[in-house]
């Protein structure tokens, strides 16, 4: 008996988990991260955001829409002009999620520190020469 194919389900509600998924997805692309870096200095027009990239304006617009859906960028339109600004608030949820796992890294750092201290204690004490000042 064959199992049915598993398909990813797009979250339809804005649960905390769905928002976190969108934030991590948005941050997973270097172009989107670069857009966020640029917006950190202030609001920019989409054409200004697109200028340094070697991709089409349409491609940059698609990246911006991913950031908008993740809540990381706000986009205001006035006719054909679109201005974007950064909203770093959703990054807090991602940082809190990542911070939960910092206890594992901290345990590794503590083990490393203990190992280095043990190595240092085993090392024979070396004489320290001091220079006399004239």
Residue 42: both structure tokens together: 């202030």
Average pLDDT of the residues of the chain: 84
Average pLDDT over residues 14-40: 94
**Residues 133, 116: Cα–Cα separation, whole Å:** 34
In degrees and rounded to multiples of 5, residue 39 shows phi and psi of -75, -15
Average pLDDT over residues 23-46: 96
Q: What is the pLDDT of residues 44-72, one digit of tens each?
A: 999 999 999 999 999 999 999 999 999 99
Q: What is the pLDDT of residues 99-109, one digit of tens each?
A: 888 877 777 88
pLDDT higher than threshold 50 for residue 128: no
**Residues 53, 25: Cα–Cα separation, whole Å:** 20
Angle between the 30-39 and 16-27 helix axes, to the nearest 10 degrees?
100
Q: What is the pTM of this model?
A: 0.67
């Amino acid at each position: 008996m064959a199992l049915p194919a598993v398909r990813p389900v797009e979250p339809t509600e804005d649960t905390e988990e769905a928002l976190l998924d969108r934030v991590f997805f948005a941050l997973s692309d270097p172009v989107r991260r670069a857009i966020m870096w640029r917006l950190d200095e202030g609001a920019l027009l989409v054409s200004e955001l697109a200028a340094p990239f070697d991709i089409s304006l349409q491609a940059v617009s698609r990246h911006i829409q991913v950031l908008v859906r993740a809540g990381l960028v706000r986009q205001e339109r006035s006719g054909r002009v679109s201005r974007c600004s950064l909203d770093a608030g959703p990054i807090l949820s991602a940082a809190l999620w990542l911070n939960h796992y910092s206890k594992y890294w901290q345990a590794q750092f503590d083990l490393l520190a203990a190992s280095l201290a043990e190595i240092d204690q085993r090392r024979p004490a070396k004489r320290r020469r001091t220079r006399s000042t004239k």
